[in-house]
Structure 1
Amino acid sequence: MTDAANTYTTWHTEPQGDARMAESHSRYWRHFIETIPERDFAAKTVLDFGCNRGGFLQLLHGIRPFRRGVGIDIASESVAVAEANKGNLPVQFHVTTDLSPWADSFDVAFSYEVVYLLPELRRHTEQMFQVMRNGGVYYAVTGCHTENPLWPKWRELIGGNSNAPVQDYSPEDYITAFVAAGFDVSVKRFGYDGFVTASKDRKYYPSILDALAYPAEYKLLFRLEKRV
């Protein structure tokens, strides 16, 4: 299923950028999975919104095996890689921006550094509410917001690297949209306290303390529960 008007071949303007992004995110994905309170996914159907090359769902299934998964993304070449590499993983990958085919389908959903790219944030939150089962939880992570002190510089840098236009949301903008959709909203700092690569690109992190503070303090983990 494809929504061609809103899709790209890769998220990064540079073709190998999506592969490098997946590699750099893996340690943070592991922290994400280990941070959430749910432990038993054996009977659950999960969604990864913004799945890119499928690495998050592969890691999730290795740590918390789930019954069935769906990954969606706007980057067609990256989704093709995810589909080619899934092996026996009980997952389907799709190139789309439209969630309407999956009404009432998911117990748990995830997005990692995706919501800041969505030009129609309210539409996304409303569709996510519709695809979650009653009692289901959507976890959304982003540090790309106006209260991140690095954001003015990042907005320009990310905008230059991304085929998808970068938006300019505050934490309150995210909260307002999630609440309006009907979710019970809570949030915590992402709180990553592991090692970071000391040679990280200084374009994004002028100081090594910036590289440490960003995933610990400014990256946010939203917990969005559907109660009807």
Structure 2
Amino acid sequence: MAVESSFFADSGDDDLLESRNHVFWEAMLDNIRRDGFVRPPQRVLDIGCHRGGLLARIAELWGAQDLWGIEPIGAARARAQLRLATLAGSVRMLSPEQWKLVPDRAMDLIVCHEVLFVVQDLDAMAANIARTLAPGGRAYVVSGCHAENPTWLTWRATFERDNKQVYTHEPLAFMKAAGVHGLVPAVRPLRESGWATYDPTDGVFGYPSVGALLDHQFRHKLLFRLTQT
């Protein structure tokens, strides 16, 4: 995850990221809502928080007062810090090298959207989640960029041409890493219904067919739930 200014070859993609992710964030949050809470989450961590959009939405929904983010891009961390400052009592934005600053068994909710493909060490990530989740807490991790998705293999080549380091993980490998660290892993498709919005003229990460588009959004884009016992 070691990048400095932007992960994308075109930095304009940073500006479009939230609008492109909105439907997926809302699908994740709908699933979290359906799972329910004993009490609304007060301490929330977003792994790969970028500019803080998902944390802002969570604060709006549940009033979380202690927001944490892990984000490798310094400029994005700074923007998230400013954006979230008025939405919560405490806001901490950290680089991936600062995981140790996240307190043990403290987070009611951990979220992560499309980060696994830039994580080399799944075991270390699972260990960090297990260490920082509070008893009874849950982590929700979204990944569509993985070994079981044929479209990802095309996109991976594009990243590699731009000299970006990416990784192709098996979904079961992530679930195994979680289980090794005492978490209870579960998985489901992220989305069950709705429109798959897509403009073939917009961007380099395209689909070869409508079938591939629908498979990505409704079959291969997975939501993992990791529960702390």
TM-score normalised by L of structure 1: 0.88
Matched, 1:114 2:110: no
Is residue 105 from structure 1 mapped to residue 106 from structure 2 by the alignment? yes
- 1:140 positional shift: 0.6
Distance 1:203 1:176, change over 3 A: same
Deviation at 1:198, TM superposition (A): 3.4
Mapping 1:147-162, distance limit 5 Å: 147-160=148-161
The match for 2:124 is 123
Structure 2 counterpart of 1:120, which letter?
Answer: D
**Identical-pair percentage:** 24
Amino acid at match of 1:223: R
Q: TM-score, normalised by structure 2?
A: 0.88
Instruction: Indicate whether 1:71 and 2:69 are aligned.
Output: yes
Structure 2: 5+ residue runs without aligned partners? none
Identify the residue that residue 208 of structure 2 maps to in structure 1.
206
4+ runs deviating over 3 angstroms: 39-43, 158-163, 200-203
Return the letter of the residue paired with 1:69: L
The answer on 1:20 being equivalent to 2:21 is no
Change (3 A) 1:195 1:126: same
Match of residue 62 from structure 1: 60
Query: What is the aligned partner in structure 1 of residue 6 from structure 2?
Result: 10
Post-superposition offset of 1:43: 5.0
Aligned to 1:191: 191
In structure 2, the residue matched to 1:179 is 179
Gaps in structure 1 of 5+ consecutive residues:
none
Letter in 1 for 2:111: F
Provide the rounded CA distance (Å) in 2 between the counterparts of 1:86 and 1:110.
16
Secondary structure, in 3 states, of the residue corresponding to 1:185?
strand
Contact 2:112 2:140 in 1 (8 A): yes
Larger displacement relative to structure 2 (205-214 or 183-192): 205-214
Q: Which segment drifts farther, 133-142 or 210-219?
A: 210-219
Please state how far the C-alpha of 1:186 moved relative to its aligned partner: 0.8
AA partner of residue 155 (structure 2): W
- Of 152-161 and 99-108, more deviation after overlay is shown by 152-161
Q: CA RMSD in A?
A: 2.1
Q: CA deviation at 1:80?
A: 1.5
